[in-house]
Chains A and B, each alone.
Chain A
């Protein structure tokens, strides 16, 4: 790694990369990898984080010609990271092994308690937190890649419709329609697991 590289701005490093100095990309990776890992880790399983982050940085490199310096490089890179996660789930959905099993007893119990409104207090406990995250992952595994991304960005990460539209390269209308339908699907999936709502 070049010792003086961190003193250069992102824009200067990008200019060097565009001029043909591929090594100038390495300080950009060093500077932004934590951000990319944090984004990717919120969307893909832990074992796939490193590979997906790798893919995001390679894609960013290949798309550097389209980067416009008016916006910060970090924002542009974040969008590429989100789209890479979306493509990860699209590829996963193309594979035939869609999980068909229901929730196990522990998760079923958590679901019933949450539906009764007594789960929030138990979030203090690590086990309950883990079970909630697992139930959510289980439910999200049963919706499409686009539904999953929109639900996660909107409800879990609290992004606005405009931000999600910008991240995924969609129109705001598409985001709203997808969010509405995805929520309806998710409620149907959850209802199918609740004993007295089937």
Chain B
């Protein structure tokens, strides 16, 4: 270990052994005010009891929207796929006719 590393080791040790800055004993605002603010925020964040009753309807609405999305996607996919499918059928029919022609000959 060189001199530089030794110095850094000592410095690190000194830094971590230093007592931390004294934390404030009480919150900056009076503790009652601070706690009242926390409770106000908590009440604001708490779900309304009525909204809990809405949960089944919310789930139904979400399921209905999901069903519409899936149906729409399936319809669009069928529209896109139809020409391809038809094309495949056409190709197959052409190949069969060619084969039959050769067999006939």
B95 to chain A minimum Cβ distance, whole angstroms, is 58
Q: Quick one: CB contact mask for B12-31 with A, threshold 8 Å, 1 for yes? A: 10111111110110011101
B80 contacts partner chain A, Cβ-Cβ < 8 Å: no
The reply to whether B45 and A114 contact each other, CB–CB distance below 8 Å, is: no
Segment of A6-14, A36-44, A83-91, A173-181 in the binding face? A36-44
Near B by CB (< 8 A), chain A positions 111-136 give 111, 114-117, 119-120, 123, 129-130, 132-136
Segment of A24-32, A72-80, A92-100, A163-171 in the binding face? A24-32
Measured between beta carbons, the chain A residues less than 8 angstroms from B39 are 22-23, 25-26, 29
A192 to chain B minimum Cβ distance, whole angstroms, is 11
Determine which of A22, A23, A54, A156 lies in contact with B34 in the assembled complex, contact meaning CB atoms within 8 Å.
Answer: A54
The reply to whether A53 and B27 contact each other, CB–CB distance below 8 Å, is: yes
Task: Evaluate whether A117 and B10 lie within 8 angstroms (CB atoms) in the complex, with A41-B24, A191-B4 already known.
Answer: yes
Q: State the total of A-B contacts with C-beta under 8 angstroms.
A: 110
A48 to chain B minimum Cβ distance, whole angstroms, is 9
For the complex, what is the distance from the CA of A117 to the CA of B18, rounded to whole Å?
Answer: 13
The reply to whether A114 and B37 contact each other, CB–CB distance below 8 Å, is: no
For the complex, what is the distance from the CA of A38 to the CA of B8, rounded to whole Å?
Answer: 30
Residues of A in contact, count (CB < 8 Å) = 49
Determine which of B11, B20, B37 lies in contact with A133 in the assembled complex, contact meaning CB atoms within 8 Å.
Answer: B20
A50 contacts partner chain B, Cβ-Cβ < 8 Å: yes
The reply to whether B23 and A62 contact each other, CB–CB distance below 8 Å, is: no
For the complex, what is the distance from the CA of A46 to the CA of B38, rounded to whole Å?
Answer: 18
Residues of B in contact, count (CB < 8 Å) = 31
The reply to whether B29 and A50 contact each other, CB–CB distance below 8 Å, is: yes
A178 to chain B minimum Cβ distance, whole angstroms, is 17
Identity of the chain B residue whose Cβ is nearest the Cβ of A38 in the assembled complex: B23
B10 to chain A minimum Cβ distance, whole angstroms, is 5
The reply to whether A37 and B23 contact each other, CB–CB distance below 8 Å, is: yes
The reply to whether B17 and A62 contact each other, CB–CB distance below 8 Å, is: no
The reply to whether B18 and A132 contact each other, CB–CB distance below 8 Å, is: yes
Identity of the chain B residue whose Cβ is nearest the Cβ of A53 in the assembled complex: B27
For the complex, what is the distance from the CA of A136 to the CA of B18, rounded to whole Å?
Answer: 9
Measured between beta carbons, the chain B residues less than 8 angstroms from A187 are 8, 12
Identity of the chain B residue whose Cβ is nearest the Cβ of A21 in the assembled complex: B46
Determine which of B19, B28, B31, B43 lies in contact with A47 in the assembled complex, contact meaning CB atoms within 8 Å.
Answer: B28
For the complex, what is the distance from the CA of A196 to the CA of B4, rounded to whole Å?
Answer: 8
Smallest CB-CB A-B distances: 9 pairs:
A41-B23, A132-B18, A114-B14, A115-B7, A50-B27, A155-B16, A119-B14, A133-B21, A115-B11
Given contact pairs A29-B38, A155-B16, a sample of 16 additional A-B residue pairs in the complex whose CB atoms are under 8 Å apart? A23-B39, A33-B35, A50-B29, A54-B34, A54-B38, A115-B8, A115-B11, A116-B7, A117-B10, A120-B17, A132-B19, A134-B21, A135-B15, A190-B8, A190-B11, A196-B4
